[in-house]
Structure 1
């Protein structure tokens, strides 16, 4: 009976993982969320599916993540097959700024510094806070796999190809996260653990007007290079791609930075 723990599971891609994985009654699925009451959809899923367990945990709190791992351990008998580290901060107030915009005035620079620190905590340190307490469970699992969600715009070649000068905190923090994942891979490979950074692709996780406009703008950027680009994936589509890739991973892949297809094709 495979077991999965997913962080940031209240909405978007994280919720997509819960929705897809819970369809198989043989799966045991743990939804780790900062606020258990924030997602009626997740609550309904847990009520309708006995294989879904909601656990309150903030990925920026080492104490809460340790408590979450202990709760998972009680249900699974001290093991976990797959850990999906999805929780992250995507947009900050400085998202629209390029590097030449940062030093125009003191207020802008301070805004950027705050956004960058937030992104480092939420997107880099959180990986350490989450991975550490779950390592022993993963080592005892049958699959021994960790997926850490990244982004294609953390790839320097992609940044240059698509000429994306903005959203520095997100892209830079995810690039730093990829380095942390590679470091983990070196230390864990002898235990048979496979840990990878995986980009989910461009995924439409919100239908709010401002977000819809953002997806439209990003889609146009990508279409300058790929005229036939169909546009954003749904969370379910992205999750199915990533789960397909997950099933093919072996310890030989550990530490890699890949797309939802398992290669470096980001769209």
Structure 2
């Protein structure tokens, strides 16, 4: 019975991860949401009996600490996380360019998109909650690829793009730094495509169900040599 831990599950891609994974009674799901006081009707509607909805604001390190303690209590001493899906993300001030960057807006993007996944992995590892063969997926974007961004004219979403490039570098570091602790671990980053979610906005072409279905196929097929890789949801490797 695999254990999945997913962040950002109240809407969008995180919600779709829960919906698809909850269809199997064998899956234990830790569904992290930024606030338990927000509208969670969509999440509760797709949750299974083995889905545990816990609060975690990934922009707040203290909240991640509290979340890890709750996960420990929820899973007990026997279960560990087999799949960690760092799905929570923001695109703050998408209209800003490199010539109009707002320091606060850039920091907000980095807090959620880079520091959140970094501390999540660190603190879950410290608590002994990651399985020896854990698969970690950091949700990135094609805009985090230096090569692909260089081909987009005009450039767009500078703060978000910069933060996702940072997440990609974090993935490379995590993939190596975890090896002495969890030799069977695999850490990847993945571009879900331009998905029809609130963040995707106008022009998005891909249904969330298709994107998540594709990503789960890639995730479940990962081998040891795939660690530190950057994937498209289709399984194609993306240039850094």
CA distance in structure 2 between the partners assigned to 1:205 and 1:14 by the alignment: 11
Deviation at 1:123, TM superposition (A): 1.1
Q: What does residue 238 of structure 1 align with? A: 211
Aligned-partner SS, 1:233: coil
The equivalences for 1:1-267 within 5 A come to 1-36=1-36, 37-46=38-47, 49-76=48-75, 77-90=78-91, 92-93=92-93, 95-100=94-99, 102=100, 112-135=102-125, 136-140=128-132, 143-190=133-180, 191=182, 192-206=184-198, 214-216=201-203, 232-264=205-237
Task: Please list every run of 5 or more consecutive structure 1 residues that lacks an aligned counterpart in the other structure.
Answer: 103-108, 217-230
Aligned-partner SS, 1:139: strand
Q: Determine if contact 2:96/2:159 at 8 Å carries over to the other structure.
A: no
Change (3 A) 1:182 1:164: farther
CA distance in structure 2 between the partners assigned to 1:25 and 1:52 by the alignment: 10
Deviation at 1:146, TM superposition (A): 0.5
More helix by share: 1
Query: Scaled by the length of structure 2, what TM-score is found?
Result: 0.89
Q: What does residue 223 of structure 1 align with? A: none
Q: Determine if contact 1:202/1:233 at 8 Å carries over to the other structure.
A: yes
CA distance in structure 2 between the partners assigned to 1:139 and 1:197 by the alignment: 19
Query: Scaled by the length of structure 1, what TM-score is found?
Result: 0.81
Change (3 A) 1:45 1:157: same
Aligned-partner SS, 1:163: coil
Aligned-partner SS, 1:23: coil
Aligned-partner SS, 2:53: strand
CA distance in structure 1 between the partners assigned to 2:188 and 2:209 by the alignment: 20
CA distance in structure 2 between the partners assigned to 1:5 and 1:70 by the alignment: 14
Deviation at 1:161, TM superposition (A): 2.4
CA distance in structure 2 between the partners assigned to 1:164 and 1:249 by the alignment: 35
More strand by share: 2
Q: Determine if contact 1:99/1:165 at 8 Å carries over to the other structure.
A: no
The 10-residue stretch of structure 1 (165-174 or 37-46) with the greater mean CA deviation from structure 2: 37-46
CA distance in structure 2 between the partners assigned to 1:198 and 1:73 by the alignment: 27
Task: Please list every run of 5 or more consecutive structure 2 residues that lacks an aligned counterpart in the other structure.
Answer: none
Q: Determine if contact 1:60/1:129 at 8 Å carries over to the other structure.
A: no
Moved over 4 A (4+): none
